[in-house]
Each structure stands twice: as C-alpha cells, then as structure tokens.
Amino acid sequence: MTVAAALFLVARNLPVRHGFTLRSGGVSEGKRATLDLGPAADAGADVHENRMRLARAAGLQADRLVLAEQVHGTAVVRARPGVLPEADALWTEGPEAWIGIRTADCVPVLLSSEDGARVAAVHSGWRGTVARIAETSVAALACEGTPPEALRAAIGPAIGACCYEVSEDLAGRFAGAFGAEVVRREGDRPRLDLRLAVRRTLVASGVPETHIEDVPGCNACDATRFFSHRRDRGGTGRHLAFIAPGLVS
C-alpha cells in the first residue's frame, strides 16, 4: 500500500489507476472538511472542486467519472456515462468511464482483471456484506468473461473490528454466515470485522487469497485521515474508492 499525491491510498496488486481517498486535500468545510466526495447527485461547488482535484491527481478526466445512487442493496450495474443508477456496485471496460463508490465506514472493494481491461467498484456495508455483494460482483465480471481466478482485489479502509460495535443479533448472523472469527468479544458488546467477512466472501467466490490485498485503516479510529459516519454521528464527508480500466504504463 502506498500514498499517492496525499489524496488517496493505492494497493500494490491492482494493475490499473485506482485509489481510496483520504480526507485531506480538498476545499470542503466543517464536519466535511476537506476532501468530501459525496453525494453522487446534487453535489455542491466544493464537492465538484474536490472531484476535479482528485481527477488531476489520478491522471483521469473528471467528466468521465460515473457514480451510483447507493442504496445498501446488491445490484451490480455496468457504468454508463450520464446515468446515475440505484446500485452498490459498478463495473466498466473501455476508455469511456472510470467508476467510484462512496463510503464513510462501509467497506470499499476494488476489482480488476489481470490485464486491466475490466474493473469494478463495490460498496459493502453490513447489509451488502451479509447479502454477499462481493460475490455478486465477482459473478457479474465472470459473466462478462473475467473468471474469478483472473481477478485482483483490494479491500480499502473501513470501520474496523476495533470500533464496530453491533447487537448480539447481528453478530450472530455474521458468525453463522462467515465464521466465529468475524466477531470479536471485547467489552460489553460484540464487534464485527467486516473486512474479514468481505475477504472470506471473495475467496469463497473463487478469487485466490493471494490476489487480495488489504489497504489498512480504521475510519472511526483515525479522524485525521478518514471520515466516519458513526464516529461523527452523521453529517460527515464521504470517501471515494475509484478505479479506471487500462493498464498503468
């Protein structure tokens, strides 16, 4: 994992332009200071400026960014310029678009074929994780001709098991679905390891474990580098996990 232009983190294993944004380097103010990159629609002037800064740093064209109206579901949609679908995962190929999903605690997942021709961005909150949106995304790429064993995956910063307290009911659901190791018993309430659940989903979907990289960071722990909806009790900014097809030369 490396830091690019102080605006985003990148994984070493992805062969394409991509990143998981940090909260510094933008122009937003207040609880959204400074590199707020949400919402998908009806964004203010500050968010538009932040997107321009990100695009320049990533070497991409801001007007080709395609986002989705995220609804904590499992829809995986091909990105179409000028279209804002209700979906929590996007995929694309070719030069017409680069894609991104927004997070402020949920797990961002970026997928790329080994040749960089086909990519996906996945938003996996607890609902998406237990519904296995990562598996659905891998299957969607397989239908387009990229088998799971030919994928590279990066799991980005999210709220960590150190901070993500949940109910006993939700902890039980996750333990039953992904194994007891995704639940930690520290203090009065159980805590979820969403990243581990996502990793296990990817492996069960056929992505080799050696092809999956974790880009570290707990959003709730680190207020300097990350936004966190839970820590800030709403009203916070959004990160962008973005990816573009095409091998980096």
Banded model confidence at residue 56, pLDDT cuts 50, 70, 90: very high
Q: Is residue 3 over pLDDT 60?
A: no
- Beta strand 89-93 with 151-155: parallel, antiparallel or unpaired? unpaired
d(CA 222, CA 228): 9
* Both tokens assigned to 241: 């996990």
- Report the 3 state secondary structure along 91-141: EEECCCCEEEEEECCCEEEEEEECCCCEEEEEEECHHHHHCCHHHHHHHHH
Tokens (6 digits) for 99: 């894609």
pLDDT at position 186:
82
Quick one: pLDDT band at residue 105, thresholds 50, 70, 90?
Answer: very high
What is the predicted pLDDT for the residue at 4?
53
Average pLDDT, the chain: 96
Task: Identify the bridge partners of residue 69 per DSSP, sorted by sequence position.
Answer: 86
- Look at residue 93 in the predicted model and tell me its pLDDT: 98
pLDDT of residue 170: 98
pLDDT tens, position by position, 41-51: 999 999 999 99
Confidence of residue 6 (pLDDT cuts 50, 70, 90): confident
CATH superfamily, domain at 2-160+207-247: CNF1/YfiH-like putative cysteine hydrolases (3.60.140.10)
pLDDT of residue 5 exceeding 80, the answer is no
Query: pLDDT confidence of 2, banded at 50, 70, 90?
Result: low
pLDDT tens figures, 63-88: 999 999 999 999 999 999 999 999 99
Task: Give the amino acid at 48.
Answer: H
pLDDT at 1: 57
Contact criterion met (CB below 8 Å) for 143 and 76 = no
Specify the pTM.
0.97
The pLDDT value given to residue 188: 87
